[in-house]
Structure 1
């Protein structure tokens, strides 16, 4: 089904894979006569060409990227624009689309969410942007329909910013990276590796894009095979997939932890652009005659079966066939893993979902940027036509990804076919993907064609004693399960005649409802501020020395951004830095906020010219220890705050608040064995936090300990990579932390205390 090559590989004429082994050169010579160097062959990937055309540094090892377009949604754009305004924003320099698909319901917090929308609309007018009102489209579907262009690059403040299937290299990053683009700065990274994904064959009837995506995620995630690399989709199997099918695979590449994705394009994608009235946006993309890839994923589409990603991660994959054959064992294994993920905070069980030897699920959801596509919903309607989902616990909700898709489903009868079964059709909304819609009952089990199934991602609240969980599946198998009234069923078990109706895009909805400034700013427009929209608090520059209290210690193999700052109901406070910070680590370590605030009193005392040890008495023995061997440290040259340790933090969302909330509460650093994604590490840096690394194994400190870091400012200035740290100020308890590679700009941001301070000068 999915095979990973051990090392790199050459791809000849887009069709033949030559593994990079000792005899690779002789094989190439026998077929080509002359052989390009490996470095020259790297330049023949699609990814290299796009990156080169957007790089402004003149050095392809150290990229400084200028993007063509930006996109954000209503959980992120307020903070981004507020940061950019504080840094001198006068006009959006490139097209910037503000969509409203996360806080669409405006239900939690009264009018707070709608205040954010009015902020966005007035900013689009003032600075020259595009504003997409609530319920019109989810962020990524609007981008596919209206923004994507062959050979272009888009940066979005959502982790699933992926338009590679349409020939657009897109990246999801934290808000500060978009701020840099708004201020005419660049996105600075080392040249990423490029991994080929060679698709061959044709999928079985009933297999959908989520099945292929989950098969790939399951094969690569744990190995880190594509971590921070670009996935480039090639092979003869690509031409056997529709545009919607490719898009459905592409959007899930985020769950592999890759940096971005790009696909070869053909007449299928050309037709997509023609259907959407943008024929000029198409560009043919394909690798050169001899392209070199840093890895190769070989996917036999004909061998892919209906898949299911069990809680609590998209990589926890099985075939549905396997789950049904080994039901008890697999469910018990999930329960065992949940003890780690949930920390024993609640009584979680799945085995009670076994009824008459079959798995009964409580809820089905087809939604968002992954599931809400036209073909997915039409296929579901074909499977469910004439059926009933039944009057029991099981429910089915379907969220088309945009209003144009919804309208076409109404016109072709698919909407009626679904509603007749008892399913509910809802408007374009990302809520089910992040815990703001269709939260199941306690111990409920939901199957979803959406993007993620992290703990509590569906909206349940550990702090209230509630737990529910999600398994990811393709819309087709969700529909088959619904037709079987909630009993797990693969779509391949159904005898269905798929109608495959043609899609017709009607742009009138957007023409009538979306505000598009056409890039023209109107400085006279007054920005509307709701009472919950707050400016960022002042943040101090990096002190000469630091004393950091370890206020949280997380030993899970991976810590998601949802666990660092929860999604769901907290989204109402995304425009209020201090209000949102109250939720930091609330589902993972409820004591964190109180502990961080307590030690933050010391920094506030320093700012007021007072003694930090008077404000926080537990600092007195630390200063006494230091007086014996480092007597020069005092309130004039020390910063005091908090830090956390996590094994591998930052998997998942791009949301910058996972870092900024720690900073608002006095955080100065994270300490990790590694960082799950580049974007989380970038968020830490952009909020002036030190991204420390420590080797794996038993920690030489514990929660509650203080870490003294002498001359940290000098160490950052002098580009030191190994930083001496002293536990509780004791000279004989020395620990070495590492900083890893930092660009000159990143060092300056940390020294200034955050990106806002950096731009203010």
Structure 2
């Protein structure tokens, strides 16, 4: 038997159906499912539509970490629904304030060799523990919970060899920014990045978690790290030594592609507005005046990250006029920084320590002044994600954030004194564990009454795809449009994610405020996009909203992985422009006719032609056999119901 890389080993252990050949359909058995409240309500309502009595995966947890501000009663309605849903169907439930899904799952449930599917794109973070962890839309997660397995396109594996050691003031965040500098936000599509090499020895689990979290910004499916002594040490600190299992690639394992990163040659990097892929050395933007520095939240909110910032701030005050916030990743991390003295250092320097929630990462609080630079250790800087439509967000490491907080402008951390972090005190996992509800015994679940507020509205199922399409172009957008442009972040937009009719009112609001009323008035329409349409979050609301408005076809030069799958799953066809330049011929209000579309699906044709007043446009039907089956049924729920 030929030597295998670690990704293939884990996938082999979980393969239910298909062949491990890149680009083919596979179905995987799943050990763990992660959901967070922003996406969980829709996933849960669709799970209920499947008509099963309980979940069929060993571990499933709902974390409330996004919609927690509660400016009206909508957020709490969602929380009550999710808590009682968990009790009824056998899931664990983590309440508001307990921490972010990615960090708590790493602390309390991540296990080497397991396969996790999460209703959040950054579920990839669990790959730091030697897992295969990937994000998916809510409907796919609902189907996985019901025991149907996880459907996936088999990825290619990129072997990333790390050699040498990181220089002072260069961190794991700079490693993943270097990958983004090389690959951009499209260069990882269809790939898993598997890390190996002697440079891993000193890279901690939380450092690996930073890389695994942000690898999805390349468009990747997952990141996989070996399970080694760093993993053992982490699990022992989490009081879970029995969960350790050594895992690594076989000697001589092969990869579909290779990357080599010599850690000693790296320097501090920054992603400039408005993409995680716009990466430059910090020296190129050094001196940029700042109004805000934000540390933590979805990534870089571990103890070592916060202790790094606190050490640099010790004995200093944050620069006059600068606002600095720090968000711990979990209640356990918050407890540890308090007992270690890190909390006091941050407070004394003038930083604001927020509760352990997503918060400013997804535009809920701390929106910066328009046009003024905000420096953040977060994972995304898409336009408007901060809550400010005309924002200027930069992404960096904790060391760069700390140095910049002292000076008030973007600063190369190598220019600053590098004090030692406060010693890590033993963590106390019980401060998180005691608040996670265990699944009820099976004989007690039937009596649970699920609480459904009026903000909880199940999505409707579409009919089968139309035989012929004749529709007006509702909007034409450019490259790298994110799902945040379709289902916006922020306290107002996210509050209505449990009600697609309300959520749809926010679609493309930043780009074209008239889109909703226009397409709603027409009773449907077409969306025309560029490359990497639908990048970013796994939120299926970005597919359910156009479906609610009557959109059944989206045309783009190329699609991001999760959003493409979400469109298919809810009954919208993603068609690919044979010639990407044809997008430039489309205009709002232009009528497109696509005759024989459903018949083309049935006959397994690879293309159709759209007729427009600018001439014919060739469209590829880039669907696998399984995806065609879903499309012809009018979506995944319809297909499963028919069976």
Give the TM-score range, shorter chain. Answer: over 0.9
Report the alpha carbon displacement of residue 265 of structure 1 after superposing the two structures with TM. Answer: 2.2
| Residue 174 of structure 1: aligned partner | 137
| Residue 360 of structure 2: aligned partner | 432
| Residue 229 of structure 1: aligned partner | 191
Report the alpha carbon displacement of residue 52 of structure 1 after superposing the two structures with TM. Answer: 0.8
1:577-596 counterparts in 2 under 5 A?
Answer: 577-596=500-519
Match status 1:668 vs 2:556: no
| Residue 726 of structure 1: aligned partner | 611
Match status 1:442 vs 2:370: yes
| 1:385-411 Cα shifts (integer Å, max 9, x gaps) | 011014x32011101000011001000
**Structure 1 unmatched runs, 5+:** 1-35, 325-357, 462-466, 601-640
| 1:668-726 Cα shifts (integer Å, max 9, x gaps) | 01101111x21111011011011101122244543212222222222112211111322
In 2, distance between residues paired with 1:505 and 1:124?
Answer: 28
| Residue 11 of structure 2: aligned partner | 51
In 2, distance between residues paired with 1:539 and 1:759?
Answer: 14
Secondary structure of 1:516's aligned partner: coil
Among 616, 623, 642, the alignment partner of 1:741 is 623
In 1, distance between residues paired with 2:386 and 2:238?
Answer: 33
Among 105, 116, 131, the alignment partner of 2:69 is 105
| TM-score, structure 1 normalization | 0.81
In 2, distance between residues paired with 1:79 and 1:517?
Answer: 21
Report the alpha carbon displacement of residue 518 of structure 1 after superposing the two structures with TM. Answer: 6.2
- Check conservation: 1:402, 1:428, Cα contact below 8 A: yes
- Check conservation: 2:338, 2:344, Cα contact below 8 A: yes
Evaluate the alpha carbon distance shift between residue 366 and residue 129 of structure 1 in structure 2; reply closer, same or farther with a 3 A threshold.
same
| Residue 643 of structure 1: aligned partner | 526
Match status 1:69 vs 2:32: yes
Report the alpha carbon displacement of residue 202 of structure 1 after superposing the two structures with TM. Answer: 0.8
| 1:179-236 Cα shifts (integer Å, max 9, x gaps) | 22122213223421100111111111122221221111111126x4422201000011
Among 329, 334, 350, the alignment partner of 1:422 is 350
Report the alpha carbon displacement of residue 58 of structure 1 after superposing the two structures with TM. Answer: 5.3
Secondary structure of 1:513's aligned partner: coil
| Residue 572 of structure 1: aligned partner | 495
Report the alpha carbon displacement of residue 727 of structure 1 after superposing the two structures with TM. Answer: 2.3
For the aligned residue pairs, the C-alpha RMSD in angstroms reads 1.7
| 1:341-384 Cα shifts (integer Å, max 9, x gaps) | xxxxxxxxxxxxxxxxx321000111223121110000111111
Report the alpha carbon displacement of residue 57 of structure 1 after superposing the two structures with TM. Answer: 1.2
Among 300, 322, 335, the alignment partner of 1:371 is 300
Secondary structure of 2:325's aligned partner: strand
Evaluate the alpha carbon distance shift between residue 525 and residue 447 of structure 1 in structure 2; reply closer, same or farther with a 3 A threshold.
same
In 2, distance between residues paired with 1:232 and 1:503?
Answer: 31
In 2, distance between residues paired with 1:546 and 1:492?
Answer: 59
In 2, distance between residues paired with 1:743 and 1:96?
Answer: 30
Evaluate the alpha carbon distance shift between residue 303 and residue 552 of structure 1 in structure 2; reply closer, same or farther with a 3 A threshold.
same
In 2, distance between residues paired with 1:434 and 1:472?
Answer: 14
Secondary structure of 1:359's aligned partner: coil
| 1:271-311 Cα shifts (integer Å, max 9, x gaps) | 10111111122221211121111111111111111111111
Among 83, 98, 102, the alignment partner of 1:140 is 102
- Check conservation: 2:117, 2:150, Cα contact below 8 A: no
| Residue 559 of structure 1: aligned partner | 481
In 1, distance between residues paired with 2:279 and 2:45?
Answer: 40
Evaluate the alpha carbon distance shift between residue 748 and residue 519 of structure 1 in structure 2; reply closer, same or farther with a 3 A threshold.
farther
In 1, distance between residues paired with 2:246 and 2:619?
Answer: 47
Among 457, 472, 478, the alignment partner of 2:395 is 472
| TM-score, structure 2 normalization | 0.95
In 2, distance between residues paired with 1:142 and 1:231?
Answer: 23
Secondary structure of 2:624's aligned partner: coil
| Residue 214 of structure 1: aligned partner | 177
- Check conservation: 2:296, 2:306, Cα contact below 8 A: no
In 2, distance between residues paired with 1:174 and 1:157?
Answer: 6
Report the alpha carbon displacement of residue 757 of structure 1 after superposing the two structures with TM. Answer: 2.5
| Residue 192 of structure 1: aligned partner | 155
In 1, distance between residues paired with 2:147 and 2:100?
Answer: 27
Secondary structure of 2:593's aligned partner: strand
| 1:459-515 Cα shifts (integer Å, max 9, x gaps) | 013xxxxx222100111111111122x122222111222236235221222333221
Which has the higher mean CA deviation after the structures are superposed, 710-719 or 130-139? 710-719
Q: What is the count of residue pairs matched by the alignment? A: 632
Among 416, 421, 442, the alignment partner of 1:499 is 421
In 2, distance between residues paired with 1:689 and 1:538?
Answer: 11
1:351-362 counterparts in 2 under 5 A?
Answer: 358-362=287-291
- Check conservation: 2:370, 2:392, Cα contact below 8 A: no
| Residue 381 of structure 1: aligned partner | 310
**Structure 2 unmatched runs, 5+:** none
1:327-366 counterparts in 2 under 5 A?
Answer: 358-366=287-295
